[in-house]
Amino acid sequence: MKIEDTITLDHGSGGRASHELVRGVFLPQFKNALLEGLDDSTVFEIGGQKLAISTDSYTVDPIFFPGGDIGCLAVNGTVNDVAMRGAVPCFLSVGFIIEEGFPMADLNRILASMKRAAAEAGVQIIAGDTKVVNRGGADKIFINTSGVGVIKGNTDISGKNARVGDTILVSGTMGDHGVTILSKRGGLSFEAPIESDSAPLHGLVAAMMSLSDQIHVMRDPTRGGLATSLNEIAIQSNVGIELFEDQIPVHESVLGACEILGLDPLYIANEGKLIAIVGPEDAEKVLNCMKAHPYGTEAAIIGRVVSQDRGRVFMRTGVGGTRILDMLAGEQLPRIC
């Protein structure tokens, strides 16, 4: 694994460069049994109670965009990372790095958004920190959130648990958030409105888990999008993943924007969607459950776990061919979350 001499934007893409940074630089220094699983959150036990913990930092540009802002993004993103292990999110901490000169009105707008998002998610913000840096020392505002959730029973949902024969589902359309950020940043307008899908997914997860104990993997495909997230799972579980292009939901407006801009929606970030890998016997039941939930109305079955091409993702195209979907190689859209 080649490690670059300096940090580049590619290292923040969530793709191959990010993985090389984590595995080649951070893990050797901090390696331990809990950390090396590299799931969306880490599961640990205290006094016989299983807990999940996650942390994330948000540097999105612009900070206000159709469908949300950096505040709700920070709350929802960490809530979702905890929920992807089957945990019920409970508490968050928040940290702010604010540039000198940042408008107080904008700060209050962001805090109000975080308050609403936390209330919808049923979590409390119980700790925090604020730092102010010199003008030019940051870009407006950066937010870090850490979250803790409770895991009930013997739930074991992890990227390492995909099994040959499992069915792959997504909770809705791909690429909405990333294309929204790009259009807002570039002052672009499209015939049909596009907005971020930022949303808390813990309620959808709880509904799915109440119906099935055959949910083996869940992941929210944020940076690097659907294709990169599935590559991570294929590597963790040492399985192949086969997708069917015609079954992957993408809004027409997002497809059109991607065609104009030369982007692939399967590599673009989502902030309110999840991947679920489920035993085939429960796939239709889980799909119907997802469709009945407000955050899963456009859910679909998009593929299956296979024994060939272990550690890789490939897609059956609409014209009958096969396309390899590798991990995102570089940065498609800087600072989208």
pLDDT band of residue 332 (cuts 50, 70, 90) is low
pTM: 0.94
What average pLDDT does range 155-167 have in this prediction?
Answer: 97
What average pLDDT does range 302-308 have in this prediction?
Answer: 97
**pLDDT number for residue 189:** 73
What average pLDDT does range 14-19 have in this prediction?
Answer: 84
Residue 113 has pLDDT above 60, yes or no: yes
Rg (CA), the chain: 19
**pLDDT number for residue 214:** 98
Instruction: For residue 96, list its beta bridge partners.
Output: 130, 143
Return d(Cα 203, Cα 80) in angstroms, integer.
10
**pLDDT number for residue 260:** 85
What average pLDDT does range 313-331 have in this prediction?
Answer: 88
CB 177 within 8 A of CB 162: no
pLDDT mean across residues, the chain: 94
Domains for the chain: give ranges and CATH numbers: 40-151 (3.30.1330.10), 167-324 (3.90.650.10)
**pLDDT number for residue 191:** 67
Return d(Cα 222, Cα 96) in angstroms, integer.
21
* Residue 62 in tokens: 């612009």
Residue 333 has pLDDT above 70, yes or no: no
pLDDT tens for 42-83 read 999 999 999 999 999 999 999 999 999 999 999 999 999 999
**pLDDT number for residue 246:** 96
**pLDDT number for residue 52:** 98
